[in-house]
Amino acid sequence: MRVRIEATADRQFGTNSYLVEDEDTKDAVVIDANLEPHLMIELVRDRQAEVKAILLTHTDIDHVAGLPALLAAFGRIPVAVHDAEREFVAEGKPMRREFGASLDAMENVESLVEGETYRAGSLAFEVMHTPGHSPGGVSLKIGDNIFTGDALFAGSIGRSDFANSNGKALLEGIRAKLLSQPDEHVVYSGHGPATTIGRERRTNPFLT
């Protein structure tokens, strides 16, 4: 399989949405739904990709706000999220005590389960639960590529100062599940540029 990855970022929070595409079949998923969904919709049209599902690394507003527009454009495809944050998508409850409600309730919500494979068309993602920034944070691995949401960034890690954050769990998950991956694996974060596991293991000031 030849996997092609392209990011769009919104201007307000610099939140990345990723189009992950199997170049042979054109099957694709979108990972996270940032505040400027039109950028992703244009990208999908340019690529003539067939989006099979939307996968969420977590449900902070800047990662889910674009969902209604993406679903309107791509049809009633599944939205996949970890069960610990399911109600924020399926029932539209607010994920953070600090902020208001983010979304209307959605149908067709599927589960991203630790240790299991999530399949969408010809694509298959290994699901790793990496909580701590938020309770249902996940990292998603396909081939040599890992989407880490707001757990791990190039040179930084996610905030853990929210009421439902857990800084210890965040560090433990990053160490056990991400830094244990091969050096050359590419890290695609929720914000900012891509990096590699090896570079973060050696130079990330929060982890060294």
Whichever of 150 and 200 has its CB closer to Zn ion, that residue is 150
- The secondary structure of 133-195 as a DSSP string is SSTT-EEEEETTEEEEETTEETTEE----STT--HHHHHHHIIIIITTS-TTPEEEESBS--E
Q: Determine the Cα–Cα distance for residues 169 and 179; give it in Å rounded to an integer.
A: 14
Considering only CA atoms, which of 114, 181, 191 is closest in space to residue 155?
191
Q: Least separation, in Å, of the C-beta of 13 and Zn ion?
A: 6
- 105 near 92, Cβ under 8 Å? yes
Q: Least separation, in Å, of the C-beta of 3 and Zn ion?
A: 23
Q: Least separation, in Å, of the C-beta of 153 and Zn ion?
A: 10
Q: Least separation, in Å, of the C-beta of 27 and Zn ion?
A: 26
Whichever of 10 and 150 has its CB closer to Zn ion, that residue is 150
Binding residues (CB under 5 A) for Zn ion: these are 62, 150, 190
Whichever of 37 and 190 has its CB closer to Zn ion, that residue is 190
Whichever of 71 and 95 has its CB closer to Zn ion, that residue is 95
